[in-house]
Amino acid sequence: MSDFTPPQGLPSKGKPSRLVRLWTRLRTINMGRSAVITIPSLWLGIFFFIPFLVVFKISLSESAIAIPPYTAMFAWNPEDAYLTIKASFSNYLFLFQNDFYLDAYLSSIRIAAVSTFFTLIIGFPIAYMIARSKPTMRTLLLSLVILPFWTSFLLRVYAWIALLKKNGVINEFLMSSGLIDHPLIMLQTNFSVYLGIVYTYLPFMILPLYTTLEKMDITLLEASEDLGAKPYQTFFLVTLPLAVPGIVAGCLLVFIPAVGEFVIPSLLGGSNTLMIGRVLWDEFFLNRDWPMASAVAIVMLVLLVGPIMFMRSRSKREEV
C-alpha cells in the first residue's frame, strides 16, 4: 500500500493519522466478507444489545406514576449546566435481600433442570431409534417429531388442560376402567408443569441428539463389541461419549427457554409453582414496576449466560 494517497480533506502528516489507517484497512477488507459479518452484527446490535442496554437503564431507575412509569436517569439543568445522572441500585438490593426472588430463581432453575433431565432421558432413545432406522423411515419419523410445531404452542398447552383436569380425559378413563376411585389431582401441580415443559421442548432435545447420533460411525460400535465390550458397556463407553456435543446442545436448547418459561407455569402450574417468568410478568403487568421487572430480567440473563459459557468452554476442551 505504498502508492496509497489519502482521500482529500483528510489530515496528512508525517505519520498516517488514525483515520487514514482505518481507511486503508477498510479498503483491504474483502467487501463480501465484511458484509457477511456486518449483517448479523447489526442484527444482534439492534435487536439484542440496544434493548439490553435500555432494559439495564430502566433497572437502574425507580418506579413512578408517570408515562413511562419510571424516573428519568439523566436530568439536565440548563440554568447551571449540570447533568445529573441518577442510577439507583435499590432494585438489585431489594432483589437480593428478598427471599421471594431468590426462591423464584432457584425454583425456576430446579424446574428447568429436572425437565431438561427428563427430556434427555426420553429424547435420547427416540433420537437413537430414528438415527438407526432405515433412511426411508427417518424422514417420516423426523417429520413426526416436528409435526407438533404445526399447531400453536398455546393451543397444545391448553389441550393438556383438557387431558389433565379433574374431569379430564385421563381421569375419566382411569375412573371408568376402575383403576382409581377418586380423580387424580394432576393439573395445577408441579407435575403438570414438568409434563408441559418436557412435552413442549422434547423436539429441541431430539433434533440435536439425532444429528450427532446419525453421523456416528456404526463400525465404532462394532469395534467396541469386537474388543469384548457388552452392549451396555459399548453404550456407556462409546455411544454416550460420542453423543456429548448433541447432549450439550439439546440440554442448552431446553434448559435456557425453560428457565424463563411463563406460559406453561401460568396455564398448567398452581399457585405454589414459583417461576421467574411469572414473577417477571407480575412485576410488569400487575405491579407496573418496570424498574424492578427489568432488574429481575437482567439477573436472569446473567444467570443463564453463566451455564452457556461453562458448557461452551467444556465442549471446547472436549475437542482438543
Residue with smaller CB distance to another protein, 135 or 228: 228
Amino acid identity, residue 191?
F
Identity of residue 268: L
| Least spacing, CB of residue 38 vs another protein, in Å | 34
> d(Cα 68, Cα 185) in Å, to the nearest integer?
43
Beta-bridge mates of residue 74:
85
Closer CB to another protein, 174 or 242, in the complex: 242
Closest separation in Å from C-beta 212 to another protein: 12
- Closest CB to another protein among 68 and 241? 241
**Residue 270 is placed in which grid cell?**
398452581
Side chain identity at residue 19, one-letter code: L
Least Å distance, CB 213 to another protein, is 14
> How near is the Cβ of 227 to another protein at its closest, in Å?
4
Q: How far is the CB of 229 from another protein (least distance, A)?
A: 5
Alpha carbon distance 202, 182 (integer Å): 31
Cα–Cα distance between 295 and 94 in angstroms, integer? 10
Shortest distance, CB of residue 320 to another protein, whole angstroms?
8
With b meaning 16 or more CB within 10 Å and e meaning fewer, what string describes 122-144? ebbebbbebbeeeeeebeebbee
List of residues contacting another protein (CB under 8 A): 217, 219-220, 222-230, 233, 237-238, 241-242, 318
Largest CA distance in the chain: 95
Least distance in angstroms from the C-beta of 318 to another protein: 8
Contacts of 292 by beta carbon, 8 Å cutoff, 6+ apart: 63, 91, 94, 95, 283
* C-beta closer to another protein: residue 177 or 219: 219
Q: Nearer to another protein by C-beta: 32 or 228?
A: 228
**d(C-alpha 11, C-alpha 129), whole Å:** 68
Nearest Cα to 246, choosing from 137, 139, 140, 126? 126
Whole-angstrom distance, CA of residue 219 vs CA of residue 48? 44
**Cβ nearer to another protein, comparing 195 with 238:** 238
Of residues 148 and 245, the one with the C-beta less far from another protein: 245
Provide the residue count of the chain.
Answer: 320
